[in-house]
Structure 1
Amino acid sequence: MARIKRDWTSLPEGLLALIAELLPSQNDLCCLRAVCRSFRSELPPSTTISFPQSILTTTDFLKGPNPSTNGLYVLIESTAYAVRPLNKKESPPWLIKVEKTKPGKVEIKDPLSILRFRFPRKLPKFLNLLDYKVTEITTSYALETTAILKGKPELAYGGKYSQLEFSSGKVIFTSGIDESDEEFAVMVKFGVGRLSLWRNVDKKWSKIDLEIDLGIDFEISTIIFMNFNRRLVLIEDIIYHDKKFYVLLSRGVTMTVDSKSLSVTEVAGTLNDLKWYKSVYLLESHNNLFLFAKFSKNLDTEDYLKVFKLDKERHEWFRVEKGLEFEDRAIFLSEDGSFSLSAKESSE
């Protein structure tokens, strides 16, 4: 019996668009558009980000927490992908980050750095997604002033060091992306000393004050950023975990912020093992919260890590000694959002 050859280019009008709406990721949409020219002509490339559009267009969200100084902001979406050619299954995947800066425009960056990605000569300049397996790993968000994006940082800083933290910030938000949900909230970490929260219930920015006393046993690098009258500390990282906003401060002090009441609660105190660290990161894995601290002994030795797990009942971080929590996982630590994936996924 002869095999029937189907003409996918003659689908009923509107059916292809309905199919595209059901696709789980933008990567799947790209693969669908790569089938043929007629598909590409009927399906425009996605220019939106996975964030409630009405909040960006009908509220003052993009004016930021300090509108008199910085002007408008742009919400930037960055997605990390693992890319592997189908005809070379034995080769390791390429890990790249695609950043959307403007509608229809993207930039390729190193997923573990804030720098632009320089393509090795071995990488092709053009990718046919039908020839590659592309796995979407994680998505992160940032707020940047339009002045920064235009290459005019002096406009964003306003000539004042006190406004430096407002030029760009790491963005996290509640898991339910629904503009009609009054509990939807967005937290932004500007630099190391500014923390702001935008809530859908009142549609405005609120400043979160974190004032604690770590005592005199304190990092010298922190003193530079410290206001001695208010005893502010460095904000190292933020994450949305277990339906709560977690904030990691200097020396492992960890707080949660209630988006409804704006109250701040300490969930872990000073961690004695965190002295003279280079950087720290929060990471969620298997419904648990982990702290990764990077250290360096001296200029002649390689950096090393210490890993801690949050005990929510005892309100403290405890050291993960044997690493069994991540026995089958690959860990990626980054300032704009750390993530993990199974070793099988990273090698397939």
Structure 2
Amino acid sequence: MGGRVVDWSGLPKELLEVIGKSLDSGLDVLRSRSVCTSWRFSIPPSQARSPRFPLKFPEPRSALESAPRSRSPVYLCESTLYLVQPVNHFPTSSSSSCNKIKGWLIKVQESNSGKLHLLDPLPNHRYRCSPVTLNTLNLLNFRVVELRKAYVLRLNVATPPRSETERSYAPSYRCNRSIHGVSKVVMFPISAWTDADEYAVFVIFNEGKLAFGKCGDEKWTLVGDRSFEYDDIIVYKGQFYVVDRWGTVFWIECSSLKLVPFSPPLCGLGNQKHLMESRGALYVVDRYLDRERRRMGNNIRRRDFPKTVDFKVYKLDEEGGKWDLLKSLGDRAFVLGTDCCFSVSAQEFVGCKGNCIYFVDPRESHVFSLEDSSIADLVSMDNAYPFCEAPTWLSSANA
């Protein structure tokens, strides 16, 4: 029996609006608006949704009572990680259909005009190439999957607007100067249909202080025990979780800003803890440094940064209430970027190796193998690597 042809253009407007509000990804909105005329008029473009990044915030130091009054605001900038695969690389014969199709990890930051700037997913630096436009990326030639969002606080160093029209827009996305002392920024809920003042933003700054803020606040609110040092924070299963230096994970109750213990102390001997979610489970990556971390000024020399010498990976056994030390990650690769931590399947990316941790230290990209505890410089690796260099076909296809 032949399949029945469905006329998607005949769906009622009320149902299309429901479908549109369930789309959080800009790419999903673009694909849906491309179905037909009725879908295009029922689902507004992603540029019409709120919030419009970058969002203005006070300096994180405003949370400290002894800090001087901030003279200038900072800006919350958003970037997106995608898995991009050329369609013409997909197998066409049934005999080769079992082969895993590999792609590249692409990180982009969208400006107010819709231009996408390519970023290095690890150190978060912008590539020196012409910006591309999402609308000019032919989705018939590429399979694009949104993986996650990442956020940073930066100083606004954009050139002043030259006309009244330019002043009506949000600040330009030339936010290249990072905020010294800010180690992590997370935001939730990650939905383009939520008003800017409904987003909850947490930041770790000043060597371990945790603060909460919303768009429009005059100052950040300090959260947690002031004597504690918090290393990392993520959104896990729709909730905020933070880990302190000793490996205790806390759940943050957003209504009261109270920290509720979620796990036993890890008691790992490493110098820095990273939170990681992989396949629905919670992990802590314990980083070992060659010397203790300390407060550093803006003009610190690269050779004075502590260097990574080892990693230990622990998986939380929620039922048993304990941490399990892992000897292998299987085909998974953990990525410790400067603005977010995430895991990927090595089988999906060109040049990516499983059972490895990719990280930046200091300001350079490296890979750590759990198999033999070796550390290699990615620049010296012979194999193509998806986290370091954007494929030439992406920029050339959008020139």
Instruction: Indicate whether the TM-score tops 0.5.
Output: yes
**1:217-275 Cα distance to aligned partner (Å, 9 max, x none):** xxxxxxxxxxxxxxx53x3210122454222222424333322222234443252342x
Q: Report the Cα offset of residue 63 of structure 1.
A: 3.9
* Identical residues among aligned pairs (%): 29
RMSD across aligned positions (CA): 5.1
Residue in 2 aligned with 1:290?
283
Amino acid at match of 1:247: V
Flag the 1:42–1:117 CA change in 2: closer, same or farther, 3 A: farther
TM-score between the two structures when normalised by the length of structure 1: 0.61
Amino acid at match of 2:70: T
Distance 1:29 1:183 in 2: 21
Which of 343, 350, 353 aligns to 1:340? It is: 343
Residue in 2 aligned with 1:262?
257
Which of 142, 145, 170 aligns to 1:135? It is: 145
> Is 2:295 aligned against 1:271?
no
Distance 2:45 2:198 in 1: 31
Q: Report the Cα offset of residue 104 of structure 1.
A: 2.4
Q: Report the Cα offset of residue 189 of structure 1.
A: 2.3
TM-score between the two structures when normalised by the length of structure 2: 0.55
Distance 1:55 1:129 in 2: 24
**1:160-212 Cα distance to aligned partner (Å, 9 max, x none):** xxxx436x8512325788758x9963322235333211369x99742114345
Greater mean deviation of Cα atoms: 39-48 or 304-313 = 39-48
Amino acid at match of 2:89: K
Q: Report the Cα offset of residue 35 of structure 1.
A: 9.1
**1:108-131 Cα distance to aligned partner (Å, 9 max, x none):** 111222212356xxxxxx743321
Q: Report the Cα offset of residue 139 of structure 1.
A: 1.5
Distance 1:152 1:79 in 2: 16
Amino acid at match of 1:308: Y
Q: Report the Cα offset of residue 107 of structure 1.
A: 1.4
Residue in 1 aligned with 2:388?
none
Flag the 1:239–1:169 CA change in 2: closer, same or farther, 3 A: closer
Amino acid at match of 2:203: V
SS class of match (2:70): helix
Q: Report the Cα offset of residue 140 of structure 1.
A: 1.9
Residue in 1 aligned with 2:5?
none
Flag the 1:329–1:46 CA change in 2: closer, same or farther, 3 A: same
Amino acid at match of 1:21: G
Flag the 1:128–1:109 CA change in 2: closer, same or farther, 3 A: same
Residue in 2 aligned with 1:185?
200
Flag the 1:19–1:314 CA change in 2: closer, same or farther, 3 A: closer
Amino acid at match of 1:292: V
Amino acid at match of 2:20: E
Residue in 2 aligned with 1:227?
none
Matches within 5 A, 1:201-280: 205-212=220-227, 233=229, 235-266=230-261, 267-269=263-265, 271-274=267-270, 277=271, 280=273
Residue in 2 aligned with 1:27?
27
Distance 2:264 2:323 in 1: 7
SS class of match (2:282): strand
Q: Report the Cα offset of residue 311 of structure 1.
A: 3.8
Distance 1:183 1:45 in 2: 21
Q: Report the Cα offset of residue 306 of structure 1.
A: 2.0
Amino acid at match of 2:120: D
Higher helix share: 1
SS class of match (1:128): coil
- Structure 1 alignment gaps of length 5 or more: 1-10, 120-125, 158-163, 213-231
Amino acid at match of 2:148: T
**1:125-173 Cα distance to aligned partner (Å, 9 max, x none):** x7433211112111122333325866796xx97xxxxxx436x851232
Amino acid at match of 1:339: F
Flag the 1:208–1:305 CA change in 2: closer, same or farther, 3 A: same
Flag the 1:209–1:145 CA change in 2: closer, same or farther, 3 A: farther
- Structure 2 alignment gaps of length 5 or more: 1-9, 64-68, 92-100, 130-135, 159-172, 292-307, 351-399
Contact 1:55 1:179 in 2 (8 A): no
Flag the 1:327–1:104 CA change in 2: closer, same or farther, 3 A: same
Distance 1:317 1:309 in 2: 6
Which of 180, 198, 213 aligns to 1:198? It is: 213
Residue in 2 aligned with 1:165?
181
Flag the 1:19–1:184 CA change in 2: closer, same or farther, 3 A: closer
Distance 1:151 1:177 in 2: 21
Give the number of the structure with larger relative contact order, counting CA–CA contacts within 8 Å between residues 6 or more apart.
2
Q: Report the Cα offset of residue 94 of structure 1.
A: 1.7
Flag the 1:151–1:174 CA change in 2: closer, same or farther, 3 A: closer
Q: Report the Cα offset of residue 307 of structure 1.
A: 1.0
Contact 1:76 1:101 in 2 (8 A): no
